[in-house]
Amino acid sequence: MSDNYTVLARKYRSQDFQTLIGQDVLVKTLTTAINTGRIAHAYIFTGIRGTGKTSTARILAKALNCLSSDGPTATPCGKCENCRAIAAGQHIDVLEIDAASHTGVDNMRDILDAAQYRPTNGRYKVYIIDEVHMLSTSAFNALLKTLEEPPAHVIFILATTEIRKVPVTILSRCQRFDLVRVPVETLKKHFAWIAEQEHIELSDAANELLARAADGSVRDGLSLLDQAIAQTGGHVDEKSVLDMLKRADRGVVVEFMKTLLSGNTAAALEKVDEIYTNGADLSMLLNDMMEWTHWATRMHPALHAGETNSSPYTADQREQIYEIDNKVSINTLSRIWQVMVASVSEMQAAGNQKQCFDMLVIRLMHIADMPSVPEILKQQASKPSAPITEKQSQTETKNDKIKISSAEDLANALQKAKEILLYSYYSSNIEIVEFSEGKIKYFDRKGDADFAPKLSAWLCDKTGCTWVLERAQESLHTHTVTEKKQEELEADPMVASAMSLFEDAEIVGVSK
């Protein structure tokens, strides 16, 4: 590579409307207007960076001042003195102003004062103000004054990436053009053409990756291509671009999502380790996973919305996604999507991306094997004899029946029913091991054989349900109801402070 290497974006900058990439609507409207002599005093171009706003502004300036015809022409020659000076950014009547460095009102006034003088070499004095939204309010006001009564020989071309920050008063005096994101296919064609001009090997897969990473911006894409050429010495293949973009191969992403949705946590986390070790940026991986989820949802058999040619996946990969799609619901996919969206900012804020990502994977796996709310309801509806439903219906229909759901509930109910013998035996000798409605597992310190049949008969009568009483063979040294009450009492701050006043005090009983 020679010392005076010109970056591709500059070397292949569009010089006329015909070669402007991906802005067909704008080109058609502008050329028609110029050809029919309808020239506005102010234009504003908006769009993301690298879509050709300043290139278009320069082409327009050339169209207005080209010497190859008697008036403005939609096909500037590119060879005359004016065209060449404008292309080089050196024309005396074409002023390119970067609003970011001329935000003040004084700057703006000086610039605009000169607008009163007639152009020196051209037909029009052209003011190209880049990133116009950066101007201060007072600078905007100065600009507005000139826009309200522009001298006949002055044309303003404003460019901005943030149109919403431009005052409406300015916008209403400009003809607005929105430069669109350049489609992937158009970018690919352009990059392939440039590679040919530069005698560079650029594989189709590598080109696709670059075009997608460019996200609609010609300039971003070309600077990536510059970088890829520099790193590979002119043999740009898929692997080198993946490494450069710190991205995992799409096939790897498809494989990973398959593992993730299969519910094998260990395998999924292992895969993350592997991808991470291979140098992939985990935020990028999350991006790719979101792309996967988006396409899996579109391709889902229930939707049939993915039958387009624009899918980023190969036929093989699409087949794999279909396979997974048959196992997961749209509901699950949309919940996975939600968690991923929430994780984007989490990943940015996290000090340790790897930890954050591992946690995300676990959360996603949890979602993947968890039934959705409608699924749970459906399951319940199909099992009318499920224990919970049965008990609920009984408490609803038989109002005289009581509900007992804990060891304390049982003690209270026995006391209330004046079953004194049963109550005192239960509260002082029975350790509860497990208690659920309909089943009690207990240890009996005294071992009275009559206790279980008596209690179960009483429970059945009072609650209307069958109770299973299971006697444990060994004590787990848990408390009886009385012991528990005593303990709670001792923990009471009032009691504790009373006890501390009397050194040898002891609680011997509780009276009501």
Task: Note the residues at the interface with Zn ion (CB under 5 A).
Answer: 66, 68, 76-77, 80, 83
Of 73 and 480, nearer to Zn ion (C-beta) is: 73
- Residue 149 CB, shortest distance to Zn ion, in Å, is 30
- Residue 305 CB, shortest distance to Zn ion, in Å, is 49
Task: Report the length, in residues, of the chain.
Answer: 512
Of 87 and 350, nearer to Zn ion (C-beta) is: 87
Of 123 and 294, nearer to Zn ion (C-beta) is: 123
* Burial readout 140-169 (b: 16 or more C-beta within 10 A, e: otherwise): bebbeebbeebeebbbbbbbbbebeebeee
Of 74 and 83, nearer to Zn ion (C-beta) is: 83
- Residue 147 CB, shortest distance to Zn ion, in Å, is 27
For residue 65, the Cα-to-chain-centroid distance in whole angstroms is: 47
Pairwise CA distance, residues 14 & 467, whole Å: 85
DSSP string, 428-462: HHEEEEEEETTEEEEEESS--TTHHHHHHHHHHHH
* Burial readout 257-283 (b: 16 or more C-beta within 10 A, e: otherwise): bbbbbeeeeeebbebbeebbeeebebb
Of 69 and 355, nearer to Zn ion (C-beta) is: 69
CA dihedral 467, 470, 476, 482 (to 10 degrees): 40
- Residue 62 CB, shortest distance to Zn ion, in Å, is 6
Assess contact for 508 and 499: CB atoms under 8 A.
no
Assess contact for 12 and 194: CB atoms under 8 A.
yes
- Residue 92 CB, shortest distance to Zn ion, in Å, is 15
Of 66 and 209, nearer to Zn ion (C-beta) is: 66
Of 68 and 393, nearer to Zn ion (C-beta) is: 68
Pairwise CA distance, residues 473 & 445, whole Å: 10
- Residue 32 CB, shortest distance to Zn ion, in Å, is 20
DSSP, collapsed to helix, strand or coil, labels residue 2 as: coil
Of 15 and 478, nearer to Zn ion (C-beta) is: 15
- Residue 219 CB, shortest distance to Zn ion, in Å, is 25
Packing angle, helices 265-277 and 250-262, rounded to 10: 160
Of 73 and 297, nearer to Zn ion (C-beta) is: 73
Residue found under tokens 């509930």: 409
Please report, for residues 107, 220, 229, 231, 384, the alpha-carbon distance to residue 4 in angstroms, rounded to integers and kept in the order given.
34, 21, 16, 18, 81
Helices of type H across 114-249: 137-148, 168-171, 184-197, 204-213, 218-232, 238-244
- Residue 349 CB, shortest distance to Zn ion, in Å, is 53
Q: Which of 389, 390, 384, 383 is closest to 464 using CA atoms?
A: 390
For residue 33, the Cα-to-chain-centroid distance in whole angstroms is: 41
- Residue 81 CB, shortest distance to Zn ion, in Å, is 8
